[in-house]
Amino acid sequence: MRMSVNERLPYYAKIAIARKQLAMDEVAYRALLENTFGKSSAKDLSINQLKYLMRLLEQKGAVFVSAGKEKSVTTRRRDKEFYEIPDYVPHARQKRYLAALWKRMGYAMTSLDRRCSRQFKVDAFIWLDEASDLQTLGRDIVRRANRKGIDTDAV
């Protein structure tokens, strides 16, 4: 069931606030929508996709202030044991596999973000969209897992 426009307005408002905070122009915003969701307008996104877009903007530095509260809502700390990768993210299946291997090797999920930031110049592992970069990372993670004796086919 699709939400009415009035129910979606708070999400649109928060996204507009985040764009202003990040000084994101129209071209960059449309490119983000197209690259992430394959759509050119937020009105075409589902409610879950709108929430995901807000989280992405938070990861880039946007801060939302809750009504009636003094504290600001900042990017929530990513759980060290879990990394959620939605179906609509490019290369979702491969990313889930690599994240599972990373976890089986005993590494924190936040360290995967740091590695992708340093090596591929993206803010987070989930933003790694280039197939060649994903293959490079995948080869290294599989090599590491094999050295640790982890069965890479069982993940």
First-to-last C-alpha distance (Å) of the chain: 35
For 52, residues 6+ apart whose C-beta sits below 8 A from its C-beta are 36, 86, 88
Task: Give per-residue pLDDT as tens, 61-73.
Answer: 888 765 544 443 3
Check residue 55 and give its pLDDT: 87
Domains of the chain by residue range: 5-73, 92-147
Check residue 137 and give its pLDDT: 94
Check residue 117 and give its pLDDT: 87
Alpha-carbon Rg for the chain, nearest whole angstrom, is 17
Check residue 147 and give its pLDDT: 92
Check residue 10 and give its pLDDT: 86
- pLDDT greater than 80 at residue 94: yes
pTM (two decimals): 0.51
DSSP state of 39: -
Question: Model confidence at 138, in pLDDT bands (50, 70, 90)?
Answer: very high
Check residue 65 and give its pLDDT: 66
- pLDDT greater than 80 at residue 131: yes
Check residue 143 and give its pLDDT: 94
For helices 109-120 and 131-147, the axis angle rounded to 10 degrees is 130
